[in-house]
Amino acid sequence: MLLQIHEPGQTPQPHEEAGVAIGIDLGTTNSVVAVATDGKAEVLRDADGRGLVPSVVAYPDTGEPVVGEAARRTLLDEPDRVVSSIKRLMGRGAKEVQALAGTLPYRIVDEASGGMVHIEVAGRRLSPVAVSADILRALKARAEAALGRSVDRAVVTVPAYFDDAARTATRDAARVAGLEVLRLVNEPTAAALAYGLDREAEGLYAVYDLGGGTFDLSILRLERGIFQVLATGGDAALGGDDFDHAVAEHFLARIGGAAPTAGEVKLTLATARLAKECLTSQEAGEWQVELANRRHPVRLDRPTLEGLIAPFVERTTEICREVMAEAGIEPAEIAGVVLVGGATRVPLVRRAVASAFGREPLADIDPDEVVALGAALQAEALTVGSDTLLLDVTPLSLGIETMGGIVEKVIPRNTPIPVSRGQEFTTYQDGQDGMLFHVVQGERETVDGCRSLARFELQGIPPMTAGAARVLVTFAVDADGLLTVSAEERTTGARQRVEVRPSYGLAEEEMVRMLRESMEHGADDMQRRLLIEARVEARRVLLALAAARSADPELLPADEGAALGEQAVRLEALLSGDDRDAIDGAVEELERRSQSFAQRRMDKAIRLALAGRSIDEVAAETPGPAA
């Protein structure tokens, strides 16, 4: 190996040879790229000083896709060639997107290879990963132009409620764009990182992140450079886009006439977004909506706008209250509320946040740029080094299906990551030489209320009596929130491992639905779980009794056997009902009636073990008292 020799004082820093790393906020409406040097982050801007890159892509007949402001201008002339709000489709399948099809300004292709949803634009069939990669390429090009050097590494932010499928899709899009993802960071955590380092903040902070397509609320503890997420909640289908749709529907209702085309819907949405942005700083205005080749004037004032969007804003404050209650925190304990996302510029939103937390929110860092600044700081930390530690959390519990369809949670939700936890499981039947593991995610007590992640089988378990085998199942979640599960039989060392590779057909808003349902049905779920556990225990007792009667029929007198048979039939009949107490009582009665039979079997086993052996031999093998 040859040594690299440099002149004194000219030795490059390790990160300089590896290349600079950038921070990217890949947003629903706008995206931002930033870089950090010596702990100071800055947004990389274009020649006109604009930091925001509209997350809009236009696909011309020939040539490369057009991204950003130029694509947004194309929307006015050729709306059918333009894609926007693609982030709402990341990690989704065609089946899940059907509910959104009426609100999306492009056509969904129902059947796609691999389960990933595709869209059709100007005769092209495109995946959300491909469109997002075009946006990321534009951000990469802006960074390289501003820095005058090649850029191939980045920290990319994602909503806290992005599931494994959406996170994997984001990483794939970056790879297609020629970027290595150093880490996926939750957007609220990135925002807190920007505020924490700039302000040297300590204490509890809430991050209210209302972007174009998602809403997240996170409670973080900031202390001596450690950012720990205590609780998180949100709605992955709630954002500024919903404000725009409400305004657009208001405009179309005022105009009337035939149903608009897809292109006219895009133009109306663009007008609605413009009206919303204008009313952030003015009280009223008038705009033009083009329908059926005619321009229709529409007027909107701020009170009307606030009436249209009030239900969406109220939903965000409901989530704020739920997350604080889950974390056991009162609003008075919050040291500050950080605003993230362009939708937080709306005056009604700021008033609602101030009311919910009892204090004015922090907004001295541009809410459109704060996430990218935090991502840039984390990129510098991962390449150069930092005293800052990010502790994100798992958004939903991870567990294993056990007998009866019950979920045994191995990693509870809101557990800091990265994390590795193990739990022992055992066999259900005598002689069982394999186990099928079903990995699930969710908050409900039974499998049918959770989401399936993966299935794998462990073979090679030595045949033993039920409950004798010891199988250690280990869940490991890395810093990006991606899961690996392994199982090992402790006596033989038989081992199986699976990386959970999500299908793209899973929707991230399922997380929010699961959390809401777990709270609404918590008591019912627990009663159902207890009933299932009672049934599983009853079936175990019936199986054990049947095996014992088959092995030692001579030890069971006829009258006693008849009584046990009657009680077993009674218990079998109860298993089809929902009376848990009756099942438990019948199990106890069956065990009481079988005690004499069990004692005779134990005596027989002892006699067989001692047959042909002297008392001295047995005493010599018996260990003495512990020292």
Whole-angstrom distance, CA of residue 278 vs CA of residue 270: 12
How far apart, in whole angstroms, are the C-alpha atoms of residue 302 and residue 308? Answer: 10
What CA–CA distance (Å, rounded) separates 515 from 60? Answer: 43
DSSP-assigned letter for residue 446: B
46 is catalytic: no
Strands 203-210, 336-340: pairing kind:
parallel
**Residues 424, 488: Cα–Cα separation, whole Å:** 9
Rounded to whole angstroms, the Cα distance separating 383 from 371 reads 19
* Cα dihedral 448→449→451→456 (10° resolution): -40
List the catalytic residue out of 87, 140, 266, 276: 87
- CB-based contacts of 152: which residues, under 8 Å, 6+ apart? 19, 178, 179, 180
Catalytic residue among 134, 209, 244, 533: 209
- Cβ(526)–Cβ(447) below 8 Å: no
Joined together, the tokens standing for residue 478 give 């890395």
Q: Which residues have C-beta within 8 Å of that of residue 484, sequence separation ≥ 6?
A: 475, 476, 477, 478, 497, 498, 499, 500
- Give me 101's structure tokens: 């099809």
- How far apart (Å, rounded) are the C-alpha atoms in residues 240 and 221? 27
Measured CA to CA, the distance from residue 408 to residue 37 in angstroms comes to: 46
DSSP 533-578: HHHHHHHHHHHHHHHHHHH-GGGS-HHHHHHHHHHHHHHHHHTTS-
- Cα distance between residue 68 and residue 47, in whole Å: 14
Q: Is 241 a catalytic residue?
A: no
Catalytic residue among 96, 164, 172, 187: 187
Q: How far apart are CA 437 and CA 435, in angstroms?
A: 6
Closest by Cα among 328, 259, 267 to 298: 267
Dihedral of the alpha carbons of 440, 444, 450, 456, in degrees to the nearest 10 = 20
Q: Report how far residue 100's alpha carbon sits from residue 106's, in angstroms, rounded to the nearest whole number.
A: 11
Residue 495, SS3 per DSSP: strand
Closest CA to 428 of 542, 598, 549: 542
Q: Euclidean distance between the first and final Cα of the chain, in Å?
A: 59
209: annotated active-site residue: yes
Radius of gyration of the chain (CA): 31
Q: 373, 365 in Cβ contact below 8 A?
A: yes
- Nearest-angstrom CA–CA distance, 468 and 426: 7
* 183, 211 Cβ separation under 8 angstroms: no
Selection from 346, 464, 481, 510 nearest residue 417 by Cα: 481
CB 277 within 8 A of CB 294: no
Read off the tokens for 608: 């067989």
The helix (run of H) or strand (run of E) holding residue 267 is helix 262-278
Task: Check if 277 is active-site.
Answer: no
**Region at 122 (left for phi over 0; alpha for psi -120 to 50; beta for the rest):** left
25, 134, 163, 509: which is the annotated catalytic residue?
Answer: 25
Residue 432 has what DSSP assignment? -
Catalytic center residues: 25, 87, 187, 209
